[in-house]
Each structure stands twice: as C-alpha cells, then as structure tokens.
Amino acid sequence: MENVIPYRRMKRVLKQYIQGEITHESILCVRDALSDACRVIATEVLLEFEEYNKLRAYHGIPKLKRIPTNLYLKVLSKYLSIPTRFNTDELGQYNRETCSFETNKVVE
C-alpha cells in the first residue's frame, strides 16, 4: 500500500526533536513504521466500531455513521499513554443520543 505520510513533513517533525542530521533511511524507517501503526490502529478501530453498532442495533438505537473519538482512544490506549486532555471519562457519554440537553447541563 502507498505511503501517505509525506517525506518532507516527516523530516520536519523529526528535526523538531532531534539535534543534528537525520539520514534519509532513518526518515523512511520512521515514516513506514508510523504508516504501519496507523493501518493497524484503523483496522482495530473499525472492528470496535462494528461491534459498537451491533450493540446499538440490539438496543434499538440507530447505527452511527462516524466513528466516535472514544473508540480511537480505546484502541490507542493499548499502544500509547494517552494525554489527559483527551480523556473523555469525566463526562461519560454526554451527547444528544444519551440525554436531553434541555434538562441536563454540564457542570464544570
């Protein structure tokens, strides 16, 4: 499969964190590894999303068309430590499908 991460962008990102020169082979190695990781994560997220929609259908809730962020975070947490700014556990699933916005307010 074609690599969609541009070489120059990858080199720019690496240069931000590495002092000195970076070899062409190193940039290609990191770029390919990240592309492979993205493919693995996307595959796992799709499997989780299918299961998520099966459960929604079982409970009579319409299927979602877009993958919710919490499924990405669930899969990513297997491989990376996720920064707390992405943690959605504080509010749970507070959206139009799970509660009424007119009567329930988010308290910060």
Q: What local confidence, expressed as pLDDT, does residue 85 receive?
A: 62
Has residue 47 got a pLDDT over 50? Answer: yes
Its pTM surpasses 0.95: no
Look at residue 61 and tell me whether its pLDDT is greater than 90: yes
User: Residues 65-104: pLDDT tens digits?
Assistant: 999 999 999 898 888 877 656 655 544 454 545 544 444 4
Tokens 């990513």 correspond to what residue?
Answer: 76
Instruction: Report whether pLDDT(105) > 80.
Output: no
Is 99 a member of any domain?
A: no
Full residue range of the structural domain in which residue 47 is found: 7-86
CA atoms within 13 A of residue 34's CA, in its CB half-sphere? 16
Give the Cα separation of 82 and 84 in Å (integer): 6
Q: Is residue 21 a part of any domain in this protein? A: yes
> Is a pLDDT exceeding 70 seen at residue 25?
yes
- Helical spans, DSSP H, in the chain: 7-17, 24-58, 69-79
Residue 26 lies in a domain: yes
In total, how many domains does the chain have? 1
Q: How far is CA 25 from CA 11, 22, 55, 74, in A?
A: 11, 8, 45, 32
Q: Is residue 23 assigned to a domain?
A: yes
The domain that holds 75 is classified in CATH as 1.10.20.10
Other CB atoms within a 10 A radius of the CB of residue 45 amount to 19
